[in-house]
Amino acid sequence: MTAPILEIKDLQVHFRRRRLNPLAQPEVVRAVDRVSLTLNRGQTVGLVGESGSGKTTVARAILRLVPTTAGSIELDNTRLDELSGGRSHENRRRIQYIFQDPYSSLNPRVRAGDIVRSPLDVMNIGDQASRDARVSELFEAVGLRPEQRGLFPHQFSGGQRQRINIARALAPDPDLIICDEPVSALDVAIRAQILNLLQRLKRQRAITYLFISHDMAVVKHMADEVAVMYLGQIVEKAPRRSFFSAPLHPYSQALLSAVPRVGVGTAGSAGRIRLSGDPPSPIAPPPGCRFAPRCPIAESRCHQLPPELRELAPAHSVRCHLIENRGGAPVSPMSEWVAKHD
């Protein structure tokens, strides 16, 4: 087992909403609530869940773009959440970000080569000659031609713009790259090219990825380990093979049941789990399991007692009261419910 490069322990990110009524109690949005996550060097961890589950807030907390309420974030034993001033700037080069939208994340008035070189200029890495050489090397690494360095973003396709974003993220030679829905704005055929590029760069450069997505098919292709978030909490963590072959949490099973399969239509698909209602408000989460109001198999204890994240199989943890061990293996009653209601 390789050594951890990033360790998040009991992370909390809460935001106070502005009070319209000065006499009212302040409202607190619990965007991230006691999240723990470990990334090993050279590993890809897929962080998945619905919009509003807290995935991007976790990423922003790692980058120190939002303040943390509690918990710790360590990069190679350096507490990122405690850094300030110059030390924070020194560590900034070790973590880079690939944005979701390749169209709005590039300055339209700056040429592509200068965009890729900008982290080197801002962080004062190398001299002018070495920076130019680094840009040329990165253009080749991501599949762009040298002469395209002088073009502006509007002269590139969506896939090419995302390649520029990837090259910019690689420029300072980071230890960790956070990919926030990096292919969701691209056509299907282009998505495959970008995902394969990210995989190739990972193998060649031993890059560690935190890969944020709501697309389970993309996560299955990219991730070594999967962490599922719901309403600010991780409800299941498992290695990719274990997760996709035998998901345990009812929410995880519902997400996977919605993935289209070859030869099976999405409408009326066998085993499809249709959830009713919307996620509860992060301002006033339920007192018990946060998924209980939408869970078709929830019991009374689910609405009263918050479950802990328990390891029920090797490296496979789940936050659910109802998972049982039968014959030495964890079993979810959701599978039995699906069989009865199919």
Q: What is the reported pLDDT for 88?
A: 66
Helix (H, G, I), strand (E, B) or coil at 177: strand
Q: List the chain domain ranges.
A: 245-342
* Per-residue pLDDT reduced to its tens digit, 145-162: 999 999 999 999 999 999
Q: What is the reported pLDDT for 1?
A: 52
Cα distance between residue 115 and residue 330, in whole Å:
50
> What is the distance, to the nearest Å, from the Cα of residue 90 to the centroid of all Cα atoms in its chain?
24
Residue 329: partners with Cβ closer than 8 Å, 6 or more residues away: 313
Q: What is the reported pLDDT for 22?
A: 75
Kind and range of the H or E element at 311? Answer: strand 310-313
Q: What is the reported pLDDT for 266?
A: 38
Residue 39: partners with Cβ closer than 8 Å, 6 or more residues away: 4, 5, 6, 7, 45, 176, 208, 210
Q: What is the mean pLDDT of each run of 10 residues along the chain (342 residues)?
A: 86 87 81 95 94 93 92 91 70 88 91 96 93 96 95 95 96 95 89 95 94 92 96 96 93 86 44 80 92 93 95 93 85 79 67
User: Residue 18 corresponds to which amino acid?
Assistant: R
Q: How far is CA 186 from CA 63, 133, 183, 195, 309, in A?
A: 25, 29, 5, 11, 35
Q: What is the reported pLDDT for 30?
A: 94
Q: How far is CA 11 from CA 36, 53, 130, 298, in A?
A: 6, 14, 39, 27
Cα distance between residue 177 and residue 170, in whole Å:
8
